[in-house]
Amino acid sequence: MHWEQLLSLKRQGDTNKRLRKEQDPTRLGFEVDYDRIIFSPFFRSLQDKTQVIPLSKTDFVHTRLTHSLEVSVVGRSLGRLAGTCILKQHPQLAEIHGYGFNDFGAIVAAAALAHDIGNPPFGHSGEKAIGTFFSHGAGKRYRELLNEKQYEDLLRFEGNAHGFHLLTASREGVPGGLRLSYATLGAFMKYPKESLPHKPLDHIATKKFGLFQSDIQDFTEIAEDLGLRPMEGVDGKAFCRHPLAYLVEAADDICYTIIDFEDGINLGLLPEDFALEYLIKLVKDQINTEKYRGISQMQDRLGYLRAIAINTLVQDAIRIFMEQEEAILKGDFSKSLLDHSRYKAQIEDILSVSVDRIYRSSEVVEKEVAGYRILSDILEVSTTAIVNDLRGNPSAFDKLILQMLPLHSVEDGPDAVYKGLLQASSFVARLSDGAAVHIHNKISGKQL
């Protein structure tokens, strides 16, 4: 893969090539990507979507929106640092094409801003709730109406694939979705493959999937323009990652490692002294002991350690990225950047405590259970209404559901049932936590 192609400014529907040299320096194309994402309704709904604690009323806790903003800030730093090094290694990018280090920062920042945009309500349990509806719930009855890959899209509903769908899918009067640059869409794609085969290789890019069957043609066009290498040894559509996707992933990994841990401390799920010990182990070589001891407030101490920890992991991620640049461009780098970190043991210790004390806390588990029921019930009425309408025999209740919810009739055709079920799943996944509760109350007759 080559940086000249990987930094493509092309957008869906373009007929002319976009050159970096011809960009308006006051508002570059990659910065337009950031603006389009942040003003989109999909991004706005993240303000009421769970990061760790579902439906939390505590000011301290991060939502998907605050998490995404923080990941974007870290991603911008990673991109700029990497861009500075890349331009030294490949001076023609600046001298001939006009790229600057800020371009790399803008691409990673935009992709990082969107990295959770497709995630359902109620955290990762939301993905599982949608999949469980089709594997063990009322959605099982649709199995025989779908081909194997279509069913897998729903059975293992994936927020990453849904994110690409939201960013790129055409809607009536809106061709190409948000029409982001191909470079940003490439950096967004952590798992550039379709749903089957499941984990075909021991490679980070095939750990999950990032493409619904409905979006394969669009992504193939993007991948070919960017020069992404097809993944060898995989039966089906699968590509090597865009190199900057490793930086987006690193920004996310850094933030949830440190900041979810911080939420646990603020919520009292982790004793302060016990928790701070883990952070100090990570930053012990960089910490100013005298300054740290002079900080009286717990939140200020935590903020000081957080800043040092993030900077430490950012610098380490850049070191790994540049050491592995050749392998990354060949598609041969098979792990995440932090898997190669010199701080891997400390990271794993923090994550182990987070899993035990935060992600499995009674508050999280109880609200995830409620989320399963809420999403399953909404899916049951919405899929039933769409499929019955497609068959031409909707009940009076089905008609009311189609009128109440923003669902539209699906045109008959060979993939009509799949498109209808994906539409219902996408509708549920776009809901915020609060909106899901509100709709569930309405269809259950608890709210008039």
pLDDT at position 300, please?
A: 87
Residue 356 pLDDT greater than 90, yes or no = no
Q: Give pLDDT tens digits for 372-385.
A: 999 999 999 999 99
pLDDT at position 55, please?
A: 52
* 403 located within any domain: yes
Angle between the N-to-C axes of helices 416-430 and 124-135, in degrees from 0 to 180, rounded to the nearest 10: 150
Q: How many domains does the chain have?
A: 1
Kindly state the average pLDDT of the residues 313-332: 97
Confidence of residue 138 (pLDDT cuts 50, 70, 90): very high
Contact 254, 208 (CB under 8 A): no
**Degrees, nearest 5: CA angle 205-84-309:** 65
pLDDT at position 56, please?
A: 58
| Number of Cα atoms under 13 Å in the Cβ half of residue 305 | 28
Residue 338 pLDDT greater than 90, yes or no = yes
* 218 located within any domain: no
| Weakest mean pLDDT among 181-185, 240-244, 351-355, 424-428 | 351-355
- Between CA 70 and CA 90 the distance in angstroms is 30
Confidence of residue 183 (pLDDT cuts 50, 70, 90): very high
- Structural domain harbouring 371: 362-443
Q: Give pLDDT tens digits for 341-354.
A: 999 999 999 999 88
Residue 168 pLDDT greater than 70, yes or no = yes
pLDDT at position 54, please?
A: 56
Choose from 118-127, 228-237, 280-289, 313-322 the range with maximum mean pLDDT: 313-322
- Between CA 358 and CA 354 the distance in angstroms is 5
Confidence of residue 298 (pLDDT cuts 50, 70, 90): confident
* 123 located within any domain: no
Residue 194 pLDDT greater than 70, yes or no = yes
Tokens of 40: 């989109």
pLDDT at position 447, please?
A: 67
pLDDT at position 363, please?
A: 73
Residue 193 backbone phi and psi in degrees, to 5: -150, 160
Share of the chain above pLDDT 90, in %: 69
pLDDT at position 448, please?
A: 61
- In 10 A of CB 200, how many CB atoms? 15
Q: Using only C-alpha atoms, what is the Rg of the chain?
A: 22
**Degrees, nearest 5: CA angle 271-371-379:** 160
pLDDT at position 58, please?
A: 55
Residue 163 pLDDT greater than 90, yes or no = yes
The helix/strand/coil state of 68 is: helix
We report the CATH number of the domain holding residue 394 as 1.10.3550.10
pLDDT at position 60, please?
A: 59
Does this model's pTM top 0.85? My answer is yes
pLDDT at position 147, please?
A: 96
Kindly state the average pLDDT of the residues 383-388: 95
* 415 located within any domain: yes
pLDDT at position 424, please?
A: 96
Residue 413 pLDDT greater than 90, yes or no = no
Residue 172 pLDDT greater than 80, yes or no = no
- Between CA 156 and CA 151 the distance in angstroms is 9
* 56 located within any domain: no
Kindly state the average pLDDT of the residues 359-363: 75
Residue at token pair 């007759």:
445
Residue 173 pLDDT greater than 90, yes or no = no
Indicate the average pLDDT of the chain: 91
Kindly state the average pLDDT of the residues 322-326: 98
- Between CA 328 and CA 350 the distance in angstroms is 28
Confidence of residue 51 (pLDDT cuts 50, 70, 90): confident
Angle between the N-to-C axes of helices 298-323 and 64-89, in degrees from 0 to 180, rounded to the nearest 10: 40
Contact 93, 99 (CB under 8 A): yes
pLDDT at position 124, please?
A: 80
Kindly state the average pLDDT of the residues 118-131: 90
Confidence of residue 440 (pLDDT cuts 50, 70, 90): very high
* 430 located within any domain: yes
* 366 located within any domain: yes
| Weakest mean pLDDT among 16-25, 138-147, 384-393, 435-444 | 16-25
- Between CA 342 and CA 328 the distance in angstroms is 19
